Amino acid sequence: MSQLAEGQFPMAKFIETLRNIWRIEELRQRILFTLGVLLIVRIGSHITLPGVDVRALEQVAGLGADTLFGLYDLFVGGAFSNAAIFALGIMPYISASIILQLGAAVIPELQRLQREGEEGRRKINQYTRVLTVFIAALQAWGVSIKLTSMQVPGGAPVVPYPGLGFTLTSIIFMTAGTIFLMWLGEQITERGIGNGISLILFIGIIARLPAAIAQEIELIRVGSRLWVTDLIILALLAAVLVAVVYVTQGIRRIPVQYARRVVGRKVYGGTTQYLPLRVNTAGVMPIVFAQAILFLPATVYTFFPESRFLETLAALFSERSFVYAIVYSAMIVFFAYFYTAIVFNPREVADTIKKQGGFIPGIRPGAPTAEYIDRVLTRITLPGALFLAVVAILPVFVHNVLSVPSELASFFGGTSLLIVVGVALDTLQQIESYLLMRHYDGFMKSGRLRGRGIGVTRGY
């Protein structure tokens, strides 16, 4: 019993931590509120749009797994293929946030708002909401056109009575669904645990996991897969998870020395702090950008199936193509540097350090400091970008070589794994902070679990 109390057994410590979470009333209420909201999100993902024949929709072989529709459906937990009122998910809001974030690099007005602190952030959030409504309405219109053109193999339409009424109804329902999800995400952030937008994205991805596991169990049951093979696959998955967590948490600490100042009887400064530079500053965005571009030929081909040129181009950039792997990896490395340059400005960081009376030992303040930070960031971004490329290609390798079903293979890497790991770490870090405030031990013995939020408001 003394060993259990001292936390020498990991499982006993984990169970004790869960008990501590339940003892803290505020934390318990926040977790229950978050779970309740996420349940609403999943229910809405199965409520089909008015005017859609559900039975006909079930007979259609998806909306294109290797196209942008399949990528979109991954983020919304199958709501897109269900033609649900939450078919657009939270993606229009994320798209609007990314557009404004990229626009801040070239639009002086947005740059000025970013420097205004809380007031500027509030205005940017308002712009984001307005742009979200516009993007959602535009995407809902496109989805309604796609649904109208879909037919089952026998020729029966998915939408029996198409027309202006169905289009307007679909636009209203799907746009309202996105706005409602955006509001739910804000409620989770304020009254729940973690970044609400990220958690909605997280639950959409993780919702596929039970079906993927059931599919794998069925393969073992019918004799199509040896249990030894599954053990190897599980070991590979565990190794990939450890590697992703390690790189996601990886930082390069640059020491910053602050000069001592005496004001009256008080002494300020004279301490050494550290500037953390993440190995993977860009997060999951390079993979999202690269996938979106490479899925374009297959997506356009679905609208023009008679085009031989588009058929050849789609086959060239299919996931089974060697060209796809090479181009995909190169684009991920490029976008890793591109997005890092957008979200992290070494010159602004150097100016902030200089204004606060700090300096990097051996480096002059001002421009030399900015050049030094940029040089260090460039060097540590390369291994992070190469790791992203490997993680992005891994699901394709697992699916094609190890014959793992695509549903389960998606959790071996790519956007799914990076988002799931990032959100899980960020949520655990917030729970950890609540426990430490109440003088309880957290999930980690040292109590220093560093989160890596992937929410759009944090740079993904």
Kindly state whether residues 248 and 285 are assigned to the same domain. Answer: yes
Cα separations in angstroms, 371 against 104, 277, 338:
22, 14, 17
Rounded-to-integer distance, Cα 181 and Cα 175, Å:
10
Query: What pTM was computed for the model?
Result: 0.78
Kindly state whether residues 233 and 177 are assigned to the same domain. Answer: no
183 pLDDT tier (thresholds 50, 70, 90): very high
Rounded-to-integer distance, Cα 446 and Cα 435, Å:
13
- Residue 292 pLDDT more than 50? yes
Query: What domain range is 179 assigned to?
Result: 10-223
- Residue 117 pLDDT more than 60? yes
The pLDDT, as a whole number, for residue 363 is: 86
Rounded-to-integer distance, Cα 20 and Cα 1, Å:
18
Give a yes or no: residue 447 inside a domain: no
The pLDDT, as a whole number, for residue 456 is: 42
Q: Which of 223, 254, 274 is the last residue of a domain?
A: 223
Kindly state whether residues 106 and 79 are assigned to the same domain. Answer: yes
Give a yes or no: residue 323 inside a domain: yes
- Residue 457 pLDDT more than 50? no
Residues whose CB is less than 8 angstroms from the CB of residue 222 and which lie 6 or more positions away in sequence, other chains included: none
The 10s digit of each residue's pLDDT in 234-265 is 888 888 888 888 888 888 888 888 877 666 66
Kindly state whether residues 17 and 159 are assigned to the same domain. Answer: yes
Structural domains of the chain, count: 2
Give a yes or no: residue 408 inside a domain: no
The pLDDT, as a whole number, for residue 125 is: 87
CATH (domain of 337): 1.10.3370.10
At position 224, the amino acid (one-letter code) is S
Kindly state whether residues 159 and 15 are assigned to the same domain. Answer: yes
The strands making up 251-258's β-sheet, listed across from edge to edge, are 272-278, 251-258, 358-359
